[in-house]
Amino acid sequence: MSPETSPALLDLDALLSRRMVVVTGKGGVGKTTVATALALRAAGRGKRVLLAQFESIVDAGYLLGSKPVGSDVTEMDRGLWVVNMTPRSSLREYGLLIFRFKSIVKAVLESRTVRHFLRAIPGLDDYSMLGKAWYHTTEVEHGQSRFDLVVVDGPPTGQMVKVFSVPRNIEQTVPDSMLTRDATSIQAFLTNPKRCGAVIVTLAEELPVSEALELVQAVRELGMDVAGVVVNALYPKSRNVALLEEVQAAAVEADGRLATLLEEARIFHRRRAINEHHLTRLSQRCNAPLRELPLLFTDGLGRPQLDELVSALG
Q: Which DSSP string corresponds to the chain?
A: --GGGPPPBP-HHHHTTSSEEEEEESTTS-HHHHHHHHHHHHHHTT--EEEEEES-SS-HHHHTTSPPP-SS-EEEETTEEEEEE-HHHHHHHHHHHHH--HHHHHHHHT-HHHHHHHHTSTTHHHHHHHHHHHHHHH-EETTEES-SEEEEE---HHHHHHHHHHHHHHHHHSPSSHHHHHHHHHHHHHT-TTTEEEEEEEESSHHHHHHHHHHHHHHHHTT--EEEEEEEEEPPSHHHHHHHHHHHHHHHHT-THHHHHHHHHHHHHHHHHHHHHHHHHHHHHS-S-EEEEEPP--SS--HHHHHHHHHHH-
Residue 134 has pLDDT above 60, yes or no: yes
Give the Cα separation of 270 and 227 in Å (integer).
30
Flag whether pLDDT at 103 surpasses 50: no
Those residues with Cβ within 8 angstroms of residue 139's Cβ, 6 or more apart along the chain or in another chain: 145, 146, 147
Relative orientation angle of helices 178-190 and 157-173, to the nearest 10 degrees = 130
Q: Is the Cβ–Cβ distance between 69 and 60 less than 8 Å?
A: yes
Q: List, in sequence order, every residue forming a beta bridge with 187; answer none if it has no partner.
A: none
Alpha-carbon torsion, ordered 12, 296, 58, 162, to 10 deg: 50
pLDDT band at 224 (very low <50, low <70, confident <90, very high): very high
The highest-confidence range among 89-93, 114-118, 255-259, by mean pLDDT, is: 89-93
**Average pLDDT along the chain:** 85
Compute CA distances 157 → 29, 113, 118, whole Å: 11, 33, 25
User: Which pLDDT score, from 0 to 100, does residue 256 have?
Assistant: 61
- Mean pLDDT for the stretch of residues 290-298: 93
On the question of pLDDT at 118 being above 60, the answer is no
Confidence band, pLDDT 50/70/90 cuts, at residue 108 = very low
Question: Could you give all domains of the chain from N- to C-terminal order, each with its CATH number?
Answer: 9-234+289-313 (3.40.50.300)
Query: pLDDT at residue 250 above 70?
Result: no
- In this predicted structure, the answer to whether residue 10 has a pLDDT above a threshold of 60 is yes
Q: Please state, in angstroms and rounded to a whole number, the distance separating the CA atoms of residues 160 and 297.
A: 30
pLDDT at 148: 98
Give, in degrees to the nearest 5, the angle at Cα 34 between 273 and 151. Answer: 145
Beta bridge partners of 80: 49, 77
Task: Say what percent of the chain tops pLDDT 90.
Answer: 58
Band (pLDDT 50/70/90 cuts) for residue 279 is very high
- Residue 42 pLDDT: 97
